[in-house]
């Protein structure tokens, strides 16, 4: 398992994505899968950067573990407790004008990953993305 500790700021997004991509590339992750993971990771990290500590800034830990052909990317922060999976999925059959604002990003994350898990543990938000690499 590899870990990155960084400030939860949008300006750090490129560092986070580079770290994740380096781990995926070392595991010969297919490009399509890598792009799906990258988009999901961007959504999660930007949400942490924008909302976890608002209006202040805190730290985020990102870890990548690749075992048995599956990548697990875990995001941890000590910000406000928030389970993004608790909100109902948006009704994508409605037009953009009819839908409530928010929730589309995490919906896309859930649809593109094989598993998305949240828990509040030891005073931290812990969100894990899982994606098979084949």
pLDDT digits (tens, 9 = 90+) for 50-108: 999 998 999 999 999 999 999 999 999 999 999 999 987 666 666 666 656 665 789 89
Round to whole Å and give the CA distance between 66 and 115: 14
Beta strand ranges found along the chain (DSSP E)? 2-7, 59-67, 70-77, 115-121, 124-132
Q: Which domains does the chain have, with CATH numbers?
A: 2-132 (3.30.565.10)
Question: pTM score, two decimals?
Answer: 0.91
> Please, which residues bridge with residue 127 across strands?
75, 118
Round to whole Å and give the CA distance between 122 and 116: 19
Q: Say how many C-beta atoms besides its own lie within 10 A of residue 27's C-beta.
A: 14
């Amino acid at each position: 398992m590899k870990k990155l500790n960084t400030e939860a700021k949008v300006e750090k997004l490129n560092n986070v994505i580079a770290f994740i991509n380096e781990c995926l590339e070392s595991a010969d992750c297919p490009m399509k899968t890598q792009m799906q993971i990258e988009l999901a990771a961007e959504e999660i990290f930007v949400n942490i950067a924008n909302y976890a500590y608002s209006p202040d800034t805190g730290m985020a830990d990102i870890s990548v573990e690749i075992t048995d052909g599956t990548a697990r990317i875990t995001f941890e922060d000590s910000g406000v407790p928030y389970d993004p999976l608790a909100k109902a999925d948006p009704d994508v059959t409605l037009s953009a004008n009819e839908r409530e604002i928010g929730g589309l990003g995490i919906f896309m994350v859930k649809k593109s990953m094989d598993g998305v898990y949240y828990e509040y543990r030891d005073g931290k938000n812990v969100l894990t993305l899982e994606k098979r690499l084949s």
